[in-house]
Amino acid sequence: MEPEGSPSRPMIDEIHSNGGINLCDGDVDDEPSIDDTTTTTTNNRPIISSGEQLDVEAYGGLYQGRTKIMRLLFIAENCEGNPAMRLEALRMAHDEIKKGENTQLYREVVQKIDGELGPNYAMDSAWCDSVDRRADQKKEKLENELNAYRTNLIKESIRMGYNDFGDFYYAHGALGDAFKSYVRTRDYCTTSKHIIHMCLSAILVSIEMGQFTHVTSYVSKAEQSPEALDPITAAKLRCAAGLAHLEAKKYKLAARKFLETGSELGSHYNEVIAPQDVATYGGLCALASFDRAELKSKVIDNVNFRNFLELVPEVRELINDFYSSHYASCLDYLGNLKANLLLDIHLHDHVETLYDQIRNKALIQYTHPFVSVDLQMMANAFKTSVAGLEKELEALITDDQIQARIDSHNKILYARHADQRNATFQRVLQTGNEFDRDVRSMLLRANLIKHEYNLRAARKH
Partner 1 sequence: MNSLEGVVVQIQGLSSSAGDISRLHVILKQAEESLRSESTRLSPILDQLDPSNHSLGYLFILEACTSAPVSKEQAAMLVPYIARFISYCAPEQIRLAPEKFIAVCKRFKDQVMLLGTPMRGVAPLQAAVRKLQNSSEHLTTLHPEFLLLCLLAKCYKTGLSILEEDIFEVDQPRDLFLYCYYGGMICIGQKRFRKALELLHNVVTAPMSSINAIAVEAYKKYILVSLIHNGQFSTSLPKYTSSAAQRNLKNYCQPYIELANSYSTGKIAELDQYVQTNGEKFESDNNLGLVKQVVSSMYKRNIQRLTQTYLTLSLQDIANTVQLNSPKEAEMHVLQMIQDGEIFATINQKDGMVRFLEDPEQYKSCEMIERIDSSIQRIMSLSRKLTTMEEQMSCDPQYLAKAGRERQRFDFDDFDTVPQKFNI
Interacting residue ranges for partner 1, rule: CB under 8 A: 393-394, 397-398, 405-410, 414, 419, 421-422, 425, 428-429, 432-433, 435-437, 439-449, 451-452, 457
Task: Kindly state the smallest distance separating residue 450's Cβ from partner 1, in Å.
Answer: 9
* Number of C-beta neighbours around residue 451 at 10 A: 10
**Judged by CB, which is closer to partner 1: 27, or 452?**
452
How far from 274 is each of 62, 238, 410, CA to CA, in Å?
6, 13, 50
DSSP state of 28: P
> Contact 298/256 with Cβ under 8 angstroms?
yes
Residue 221 carries which side chain, given as an amino acid letter?
K
* Burial zone of 458 (CB within 10 Å; 0-12 exposed, 13-18 middle, 19+ buried): exposed
**Judged by CB, which is closer to partner 1: 134, or 427?**
427
**Judged by CB, which is closer to partner 1: 125, or 410?**
410
Select from 165, 169, 204 the least CA-distant residue to 185. 165
**Judged by CB, which is closer to partner 1: 57, or 436?**
436
> Contact 347/274 with Cβ under 8 angstroms?
no
Task: Kindly state the smallest distance separating residue 19's Cβ from partner 1, in Å.
Answer: 25
Task: Kindly state the smallest distance separating residue 2's Cβ from partner 1, in Å.
Answer: 16
In this structure, what are the phi and psi dihedrals at residue 34, rounded to the nearest 5 degrees?
-80, -45
**Judged by CB, which is closer to partner 1: 133, or 451?**
451
- Give Cα 153 to chain centroid, integer Å: 44
> Contact 243/346 with Cβ under 8 angstroms?
yes
**Judged by CB, which is closer to partner 1: 151, or 422?**
422
**Judged by CB, which is closer to partner 1: 38, or 430?**
430
DSSP string for residues in 367-434: HTTBSEEEHHHHHHHTTS-HHHHHHHHHHHHHTTSS-EEEETTTTEEEE----HHHHHHHHHHHHHHH
* Burial zone of 83 (CB within 10 Å; 0-12 exposed, 13-18 middle, 19+ buried): exposed
**Judged by CB, which is closer to partner 1: 371, or 397?**
397
Task: Kindly state the smallest distance separating residue 376's Cβ from partner 1, in Å.
Answer: 16
Task: Kindly state the smallest distance separating residue 422's Cβ from partner 1, in Å.
Answer: 6
Which H or E element spans position 372?
strand 372-374
Task: Kindly state the smallest distance separating residue 374's Cβ from partner 1, in Å.
Answer: 14
Task: Kindly state the smallest distance separating residue 23's Cβ from partner 1, in Å.
Answer: 34
Task: Kindly state the smallest distance separating residue 120's Cβ from partner 1, in Å.
Answer: 56
**Strand, coil or helix: 81:** coil
